[in-house]
Structures are given as C-alpha cells and as structure tokens.
Amino acid sequence: MAFSLALLGASTYEVPVALGSYDLLATEILTGTSSSITFASLGTYAADYQHLQVRATLGRSTSGGDMASGKIKLNGSDMTKSHLLRGYNGSVNSYDNTVGKFTYAGTGSTHSGLVIDVLDAFSSDKNTTIRFLGGVAGNSEPFVMLNSAFWDNTSSITSLEINGGGPSFTENSRLSLYGIRKAA
C-alpha cells in the first residue's frame, strides 16, 4: 500500500510488511462430508513464509463417540512420533503415538476448534515439528488438548493432509491455511 508524502518532499511511502505477520493463503469449507482435506502445492510459498498455520473449525465426526482422533500427513507420509496431553472428563491424560494424531469433536451439532502450527515448514536442514492446540466445549464431555508431533524428514513441505482418522469431517467444517512471513 503506497500513499503520497508530497508535503514532506517525498513522492510516496511504501508501508513495510511486518515480519512474522500472518497471511491467509487458502480456505476450505466443506459442503458435504470428507475423510480428509489436503493443502497442496505448498512449495510455492517457500520463498516468503517460514511457518504455516491451519486454523480449523472441525465439524462433527461421523464416528459414534464424543471424540474422534484425526491425523496429519506431510508430503503424503505419517508423522514419525507424537505426544498428546488432554484434559477430558475431569482428568488429564498424556500418551504418545506414532502417527501425529489429534482429537476433535464427536457427534451431534458440536464443532471443535483446532490450531495447527507447522514450524519451519520449508527448511531443508532440520526435521519438521508440529504443535496442535484444540478442544471443544459443547460436547457432553468437554475437553482441551495439546499435541506435538515430529516428522523425521528434512524435506520441504509440499502438501499437508488433515485426515479424519477413519470417520469423516462433516458439512461446514472450515480449515484456513495461513503463512507466517520469514524474517528478512
């Protein structure tokens, strides 16, 4: 965005882009059920962005329980290792698993919120780390969860798949992909 500074003797001034700012790159809103959502061709963002973030409102899973476990795939492959800390039903659970799972809303009209940070998504000199923060308040048994996942691979991320883990995401699930600008 440029504007005139003629009164000050300059012709224009270009407003700088704030480092670390978030830019909306893509949004997917489901009009029906889907077992997964994939953001592809992510390599086109490598020059401008350091990290990626997905902000999701995930619709009622088609599973029969209060919660469902989805998973993340990078470049078509599962995460190598992940850990989960979840507050649920008056207790706290923590455990590890091997496929980058996260927990999201169950059945009924409940939708859950989820933020997924893909750190250093385009770096080729370190492994990729993902962190998840999410929860739901409208279920009969509300929960909050914090996950971390590790991908033992130094490839630049070209695709990110968010998979329902068996059940499907339902209509009106919304996922928005943001890029976090790299430092100059």
Q: pLDDT tens for residues 39-93?
A: 999 999 999 999 999 998 876 666 656 567 788 899 999 888 888 888 877 888 8
The pair of three-digit structure tokens given for residue 169, joined into one six-digit string: 């995401």
What's the whole-model pTM score? 0.82
The pair of three-digit structure tokens given for residue 74, joined into one six-digit string: 């990078």
Nearest alpha carbon to residue 149 among 92, 85, 89:
85
Mean pLDDT of 16-31: 80
From the CB of residue 37, how many other CB atoms can be counted at a distance below 10 Å? 22
Report strand pairing: 112-119 vs 101-105: unpaired
Contact indicator for 82, 97 with CB cutoff of 8 Å: yes
Amino acid at 40: A
pLDDT in the model for residue 15: 47
DSSP 37-69: EEE--GGGGTTTEEEEEEEEEE---SSSSSEEE
The pair of three-digit structure tokens given for residue 62, joined into one six-digit string: 């088609």
Is 8's pLDDT higher than 60?
no
Lowest mean pLDDT, pick from 32-36, 121-125, 149-153, 164-168? 164-168
- Domains of the chain in sequence order: 19-181 (2.60.120)
Q: pLDDT over 90 for what percent of the chain?
A: 33
